[in-house]
Amino acid sequence: MDTTQYDVVIIGAGLGGLLCGAILSKEGMKVCILEKNEQIGGSLQTFRRDGLSLDTGIHYIGGLDKGQTLYQIFNYLGMMDRLELAKMDEGGFDMILFKDDDIQYPHGMGYERFISLLTVIFPDEKTAIVTYCDEIRKTCKSVPLYNMSLEDKYEDPDILSQSAKTIIESFTTNEKLRAVLAGSNMLYAGYATRTPWYVHALIQNSYIESSWRCSKGGDQIAKILARQIKTNDGQILTKATVTGIHEENGAAIYAELESGHKIYGARYISNLHPSITLDMLDSKAIKPVYKNRIKGLDNSVSAFVLNVILKPNSYKYSNRNYYYFDDLNVWNATNYTEENWPFTYGIFEAVPHDDSIYTESVSVMTYMKWGEISQWENTFNTSIHETSRAEEYESFKQLKAKKLLDTVALKFPDLVKHTKSWYAATPLTYRDYLATPMGSIYGIAKDYTNPIRTQISPNTKISNLYLTGQNIKLHGVLGVALTSLVTCSSIIGKEYLINKIIKANEAAA
Ligand X SMILES: Cc1cc2nc3c(=O)[nH]c(=O)nc-3n(C[C@H](O)[C@H](O)[C@H](O)COP(=O)(O)OP(=O)(O)OC[C@H]3O[C@@H](n4cnc5c(N)ncnc54)[C@H](O)[C@@H]3O)c2cc1C
Positions that interact with ligand X (CB under 6 A): 11-17, 34-37, 42-44, 57-61, 241-242, 271-272, 303, 305, 365, 430, 434-436, 441-442, 469-470, 475-477, 480
Name the minimum Å distance from CB 237 to ligand X: 9
Phi, psi of 276 (to 5 degrees): -75, -40
Shortest distance, CB of residue 359 to ligand X, whole angstroms? Answer: 16
363-374: buried (b, 16+ CB within 10 Å) or exposed (e) per residue?
A: bbbbbbbbebbe
Residue whose CB is less far from ligand X, 97 or 474: 474
Between 125 and 219, CB nearer to ligand X: 219
| C-alpha count within 13 angstroms, C-beta hemisphere, residue 463 | 6
Of 59 and 267, CB closest to ligand X: 59
Q: How far is the CB of 182 from ligand X (least distance, A)?
A: 17
In the bound state with ligand X, the residue whose beta carbon lies nearer, of 415 and 444, is: 444
Which residue, 57 or 196, has its beta carbon nearer to ligand X?
57
Distances (CA, A) of 446 to 190, 200, 300, 400, 458: 10, 11, 9, 29, 16
Least Å from the CB of residue 196 to ligand X:
16
From 167, 221, 163, 170, select the one nearest 195 (Cα to Cα). 163
Beta pairing class for 52-55 and 46-49: antiparallel
Q: How near is the Cβ of 430 to ligand X at its closest, in Å?
A: 6
- Cβ within 8 Å of residue 330, ≥6 positions away: 179, 182, 183, 185, 190, 344
Give whichever of 464 and 483 is closer to ligand X, judged by the CB atom. Answer: 483
DSSP H helices, 2-160, are: 15-26, 69-76, 111-121, 126-141
By C-alpha distance, which of 458, 448, 398, 445 is closest to 422? Answer: 398
Residue positions counted in the chain: 509
Q: Which lies closer to ligand X via its Cβ, residue 114 or residue 188? A: 188
Min CB(243)–ligand X separation in Å:
7
CB of 271 to ligand X, least distance (A): 5
Strand, helix or coil for residue 437? helix
Q: How far is the CB of 303 from ligand X (least distance, A)?
A: 5
Pick between residue 60 and residue 114 the one whose CB is nearest to ligand X: 60
Helix boundaries (H) for 66-191 = 69-76, 111-121, 126-141, 164-171, 175-181
The residue with its CB nearest to ligand X is: 14
Degrees, nearest 5: CA angle 344-350-353? 165
One-letter amino acid at 349 equals E
